[in-house]
Structure 1
Amino acid sequence: MNNGVAVFSNVVIIGDRLAFPRTKDCMRGGASLIHRLPDDSVHRVADFSDAWMPGPGYRDRMSPGKSVVLRSANVNDNGLYELTCGAGDETLIQVEVVPASRVSVTEGEDITVSFHHISVGGALAYARCDRNGTLFFEIEISSGNITYGPGLESRVSVSSGWKTDGDFSPTLRRAQMQDRGDYLFYALDKAKMRTRESLVTVRVEVKKNQSDLTTDPPTPVNATQRPAEGRMETWAIVGVTVAVTVPIVLALGIMLGRLWKSRKSSVPPCSRCGAFFFVP
């Protein structure tokens, strides 16, 4: 390995994707990405031709593409990776695959995440936490100075006894939806050059507060309006009944009149009806 090459660090949680974004800037024939194991043996992860193609042992975990992305990282993916794009063009990538505890909190509640590290007589000078890759807080152990991420100073606190008991566990007040994500706790030396130590990873989930999900109540019915509404319904029924019944009655009357008239005209005249009268 060449001296003075760029070195990058990547922390990923077990089961998550392991992405090498710098391979997107190294798409040229002959480029390669290898994994150098602790015993100095080498695994070829991918080579570039028309696309980044998976090497032996990675074909079931990677699809050809414009960058190298492994599905479901495991502990054997820990270690140093060498990205070579051409003669003398080399990038080193240190990968740490770590387990993560999971914490769930409801929006508006406080949350405390456990983190302990030696705070006396140690070589490491900083205790730090990153949230989703950006600063959450950092404590300089020698001076006690605390640096917070943007907008967090009023919401984050650390136990005042951290200097004597090594308890750096932060409390985050009034959790918000943007507070969810991955929190990495670790320690660094004064030059901040050494690999992270005492690494602890916590995945925080913030649930929506159900009490905020209000719905409009049903419109109340005015009791004084109900009788009027009832009368209106009754008159509507009467009107419909009359509208239906009257035509039927009229039709029956006309039919009966015609039947009576036809029967009367069909009776023959009585020539001897006078014999029935008594004459004294």
Structure 2
Amino acid sequence: MTPNETVTLNSANANDAGLYEFRSGTGKVIQPLVHVHVFLSTNRTVTEGDSVSFASYANTRGRGVFTVARNEKPVFGLDYGSGKQTRGPGFEDRVSISPQWKDEGNLTITLKGATTADEGVYFFYVRDKLGETVPLHAARLKVNTRGPDQTTSGPATQSENNIWTAVPITSALLAGLVAGLVAGLVAGLVVGLVVGRKAPSLLGHLKTCRSRSRCRPDAVSHPDAAAQLLNGNSRIPEASLESSHAESKV
């Protein structure tokens, strides 16, 4: 196998969350520990130019940082202790949070003036006072283009079907993303990760994969040695866990 190939974990579910390590055939560690978090996501649809809200709730007493990220980019951050709010590029004047966040734990955010550039998977999570990531949920946003004669549209819709989405995180990402949301946010966006430039050849296996039958190497090269999310797009009935997968590039 050549450098920068891919190991795919198929049909990810809630029990796949945890730490993973990649080793070569000689036992040499070729990638830092990857912490995989699994989110339950829903599908949202909105018409271009309209607003869309994402409901989130958590205990906001004490210390912690509520974070929203989309496609490896920061969207919004809130420090419970100081009340400081930060917004990512392109979202400065378009994202607001419920004024009841402190007293009621209502972390619902609203995105105004949706555009097709806003499409993607939004991850909502909290970094608690111990530095642990607490996943809340995820939402895949689809923005429909407004027709030339369309002046009004209905409210944003939410799919009844859910998708399990697995997200890999390494210590390199947690340390490197402070600048993305400025000093007020704890490093650690839950989308994508870059672990170095050129990784050695991946000769072996995913060390801690829970089921070898679901771990397979894909001969797909990438210019960076990175573990990157490949969002599952298969729908899952309420009582089953079928078809979503996490992809890590090493």
TM-score range, shorter chain: 0.5 to 0.7
The letter of the residue matching 2:55 is: S
Q: Does 1:128 align with 2:57?
A: no
Query: Larger RCO: Structure 1 or Structure 2 (Cα < 8 Å, ≥ 6 residues apart)?
Result: 2
Q: 2:45 aligns with which of 104, 123, 145?
A: 104
Could you tell me whether the CA contact under 8 Å between 2:60 and 2:102 is conserved in 1?
yes
1:72-124: CA deviation from partner (whole Å, max 9, x where unpaired): 4333433222211355535311212332111110111100100111112x4x4
Residue 257 of structure 1 corresponds to none
1:47-83: CA deviation from partner (whole Å, max 9, x where unpaired): xxxxxxxxxxxxxxxxxxx321244433343322221
Q: 2:36 aligns with which of 95, 104, 127?
A: 95
Using the alignment, how far apart are the partners of 1:209 and 1:203 within structure 2? 19
1:174, distance to aligned residue in structure 2 (A): 0.6
1:154 counterpart SS class: coil
Using the alignment, how far apart are the partners of 1:24 and 1:210 within structure 2? 48
Using the alignment, how far apart are the partners of 1:76 and 1:125 within structure 2? 25
Residue 197 of structure 1 corresponds to 134
Moved over 6 A (4+): none
1:226-255: CA deviation from partner (whole Å, max 9, x where unpaired): xxxxxxxxxxxxxxxxxxxxxxxxxxxxxx
Q: 2:79 aligns with which of 133, 136, 140?
A: 140
1:175 counterpart SS class: coil
Give me the identity figure in percent: 34
The higher radius of gyration belongs to 1
Could you tell me whether the CA contact under 8 Å between 1:119 and 1:162 is conserved in 2?
yes
Q: How does 1:253-272 map to 2 (within 5 A)?
A: none
1:206 counterpart SS class: strand
1:109 counterpart SS class: coil
Q: 1:24 to 1:179 in 2, by over 3 A?
A: farther
Residue 147 of structure 2 corresponds to 210
Q: 1:114 aligns with which of 37, 46, 55?
A: 55
The letter of the residue matching 2:66 is: A
Residue 174 of structure 1 corresponds to 113
Q: 1:78 aligns with which of 14, 17, 20?
A: 17
Bigger helix share: 1
What is the aligned length? 148
Residue 101 of structure 2 corresponds to 162
Q: CA RMSD in A?
A: 2.4
Bigger strand share: 2
Could you tell me whether the CA contact under 8 Å between 2:38 and 2:135 is conserved in 1?
no
Could you tell me whether the CA contact under 8 Å between 2:69 and 2:123 is conserved in 1?
yes
Using the alignment, how far apart are the partners of 1:150 and 1:204 within structure 2? 18
Q: Please, what TM-score do these two structures have when normalized by structure 1?
A: 0.48
Using the alignment, how far apart are the partners of 1:206 and 1:175 within structure 2? 7
The letter of the residue matching 2:16 is: D
Q: Please, what TM-score do these two structures have when normalized by structure 2?
A: 0.53
